[in-house]
Chain A
Amino acid sequence: MKPVIEVENLVKKFGNFVANDSLTFSVFPGEIFGFLGANGAGKTTTIKILCGLSAPTSGKVSVAGYDVYRHSELIKKNIGYMSQKFSLYEDLSITENFQFYGGIYGLSRNEIRERTKALLNRLDFLKAQNEVLRNIPQGWKQKLAFSVAVMHQPKVVFLDEPTGGVDPITRRQFWELIYEQAHNGTTIFVTTHYMDEAEYCGRVSIMVDGKIEALDSPEKLKNQFAVNSMNDVFVKLARAAK
């Protein structure tokens, strides 16, 4: 299978500071890829590069089959993004948010209407569709934000700590949504600080000081470091940081 994200010797420097130190990894269609690392390890920098927001200093990077140097505009059409910061408009209704985001991804009015209906139906949220976002509980907003991020059916969805500040039950439901989406062939690229969530991922990479120190399935990583949980794997690696 051809990977949807291909990164080879990616380096990103800010002056003398090396944020990403020759990263190499691939992510395959329909995979749930956990991108872990302590704060300041360089995760956000990598995500910005993969989303076409920031140019790498050197190395080969392609996303959804397009080169980041030359086709960042095409990449943007084929990816979805959701961040920990809640990214829908508080003063617009659910439907208006869907309309707006569908619109900027160039969906037709009919497509927007159908997909909004399908997505809200899946969340069992059709009743509240004209409710203004401000009045909706945090956990629900997060699920809505995810639905908006996949509305244009991107090849890859980047989730930057999508479950920050969400209760365990909603997190659980959130991950069910992620699984469904991956099952339909969307690649999920997710960062998180919750190690139980890391266990849900197909493969996990752990970044320390700008380098990828480990990359494998959670099972194999636990074996490799001879520990019982991803939490211990993470602590073992992160403790070695400068």
Chain B
Amino acid sequence: MKGFVVKEFLHIFRDHRTMLILFGMPIAQVLLFGFAITNEINHASIAVFDKARDSKSLELQQKLTASGYFDINMQLENTKSIEKAFQSGKVKEIVVIPPQFEKTLELGQPTTIQLINDASDPNTANLISSYTSAILMDFAASINPQANSLPVTTETTMLYNPELKGVFMFVPGTITILLMLVSAMMTSISIAREKEMGTMEVLLISPLKPYQIILGKVLPYVVFSFVNAMVILILAYSIFEMPVNGSLLLLLAESLLFILMALAMGLFISTVSNSQQTAMLLSMFALMLPTILLSGFVFPVENMPLALQWLSHLMPSKWFIIIVKSIMLKGLGIAYLWQETLIILLMAFIFIILSIKKFEVRLKLK
């Protein structure tokens, strides 16, 4: 048994590709998701078509630049150049300030500022226009506090992630995906490799019991997955200042549970595939894609068609992401999370039973 685990570690250490996936991937992924894929606007390049050219319109432009969200990269002269500006791809939004801007404002008359957005990327267009609107509202209020005072105003507070940092949302997802990848895919591939090489036959004929073979194969990956989870958490904490508001112990325990579930899935995949390629493709299509698409990691589940929402309930990763978010951001304890935990536990159980059944059937038939 000990020898088995040692052998498995040797396999992993000797294979540079495996090592790279095991250790390079988590770091690369966290940094990628953390820095590159953000929903925040940062120095978005815009253009201004200033028909007024007075002090107020200049003030407005300064306000836009001062926010840090926008860089005004182009001043347009006429309506024709609007189309051209977008076609050049250099600007995401054009702010059109009407003529006699200052005068209209002084008279206290209503005026309209037009925002034209490049909606070939709808999400960005939405974000940019709402950021701009917010600045414009602010500007309007500063000029004429009384005139604009509506009987009801909203005051929004963003709980749990006050700065709306994208990384807070991606870290739980990244942990989930990586644990899934390392645990499920790597184990299924490594078991399939034994089958492909013919060593599985020798192992089955040896006095080792099936459970010993499985444990021996799975244990090293438990260790690696757990280390990986820690690395991601440390990165998230140190680089992106993501807090762990809840109990760290609970978080680690839940991670371990999820790892076991993923391993059980990996085992199941390996029992139905006879080659490394099959195992890899199965893991990719059956695990990775649904995990990414349906777990609420990238796209909110609430906005999906009902059928897909139902399907997403079957994704263990969805529940795990909820757990991780709740613990890290909301600081919730097990009292609030026992349902999700139970679901993952149940799934792990089902996959273990299924793989044992499969394993036995395979032995009997061949």
A140–B3 alpha-carbon span in the complex (Å): 24
Chain B residues with Cβ below 8 Å from A53 are 204-205, 363, 366
Q: Which of A14, A92, A105 contacts B7 (CB 8 A)?
A: A92
CB within 8 Å of A: which of B1-59?
2-4, 6-7, 10-11, 14-15
A81 touching B10 in the complex, CB below 8 Å, given contacts A87-B199, A91-B15, A104-B4: no
Determine whether the beta carbon of A103 is less than 8 Å from that of B2. Answer: yes
Determine whether the beta carbon of B198 is less than 8 Å from that of A86. Answer: yes
CB within 8 Å of A: which of B173-201?
197-199, 201
Please give me the residue from chain B that is nearest to A52 by CB atom: B205
A76 touching B206 in the complex, CB below 8 Å, given contacts A54-B363, A85-B197, A85-B198: yes
A105–B1 alpha-carbon span in the complex (Å): 10
A79 touching B2 in the complex, CB below 8 Å, given contacts A85-B198, A86-B197, A89-B7: no
Judge whether B306 is part of the interface by a CB distance below 8 angstroms: no
Scoring B201, B207, B365 by chain A CB atoms within 10 A of each residue's CB, the highest score goes to: B207
Judge whether A48 is part of the interface by a CB distance below 8 angstroms: yes
A14–B364 alpha-carbon span in the complex (Å): 10
Determine whether the beta carbon of A91 is less than 8 Å from that of B10. Answer: yes
Q: Which of A14, A54, A88, A103 contacts B199 (CB 8 A)?
A: A88
Please give me the residue from chain A that is nearest to B198 by CB atom: A85
Determine whether the beta carbon of B10 is less than 8 Å from that of A92. Answer: yes
Determine whether the beta carbon of A87 is less than 8 Å from that of B207. Answer: no
Determine whether the beta carbon of A81 is less than 8 Å from that of B205. Answer: yes
Tell me the smallest distance from the CB of A119 to a CB of chain B, in Å.
17
Determine whether the beta carbon of A55 is less than 8 Å from that of B364. Answer: yes
Please give me the residue from chain B that is nearest to A89 by CB atom: B199
Q: Which of B3, B10, B366 contacts A48 (CB 8 A)?
A: B366
Judge whether B158 is part of the interface by a CB distance below 8 angstroms: no
Tell me the smallest distance from the CB of B206 to a CB of chain A, in Å.
5
Interface residues of B toward A: which range? 20 to 34
Judge whether A73 is part of the interface by a CB distance below 8 angstroms: yes
Chain A residues with Cβ below 8 Å from B202 are 81-83, 87, 101
A89 touching B11 in the complex, CB below 8 Å, given contacts A55-B364, A83-B201, A83-B202: yes
Judge whether A66 is part of the interface by a CB distance below 8 angstroms: no
Chain B residues with Cβ below 8 Å from A79 are 205
Chain A residues with Cβ below 8 Å from B311 are none
Scoring B6, B205, B206 by chain A CB atoms within 10 A of each residue's CB, the highest score goes to: B205
Chain B residues with Cβ below 8 Å from A52 are 205
Determine whether the beta carbon of B198 is less than 8 Å from that of A83. Answer: yes
Judge whether A96 is part of the interface by a CB distance below 8 angstroms: yes
Please give me the residue from chain A that is nearest to B200 by CB atom: A87
Determine whether the beta carbon of B3 is less than 8 Å from that of A99. Answer: yes
Q: Which of A48, A86, A104, A158 contacts B207 (CB 8 A)?
A: A104
Chain B residues with Cβ below 8 Å from A14 are 365
Q: Which of A51, A76, A87, A158 contacts B197 (CB 8 A)?
A: A87
Q: Which of B15, B206, B209 contacts A105 (CB 8 A)?
A: B206
Determine whether the beta carbon of B201 is less than 8 Å from that of A104. Answer: no
CB within 8 Å of B: which of A95-110?
96, 99-101, 103-106
3 pairs of A and B residues whose beta carbons are closest in the complex? A85-B198, A103-B3, A81-B205
Q: What are 8 A-B pairs at a CB distance below 8 A? A: A48-B366, A54-B366, A55-B364, A76-B206, A86-B198, A87-B198, A99-B3, A104-B207
Residues of A with Cβ closer than 8 Å to B?
Answer: 14, 48, 51-55, 73, 76-77, 79, 81-83, 85-92, 96, 99-101, 103-106, 132, 158
Residues of B with Cβ closer than 8 Å to A?
Answer: 2-4, 6-7, 10-11, 14-15, 197-199, 201-209, 363-366
Given contacts A81-B202, A85-B198, A92-B10, 19 further A-B contacts (CB under 8 A): A14-B365, A52-B205, A54-B363, A54-B364, A55-B364, A81-B205, A86-B198, A87-B199, A87-B202, A91-B10, A91-B14, A92-B7, A92-B14, A100-B3, A100-B4, A101-B206, A103-B2, A104-B4, A106-B207
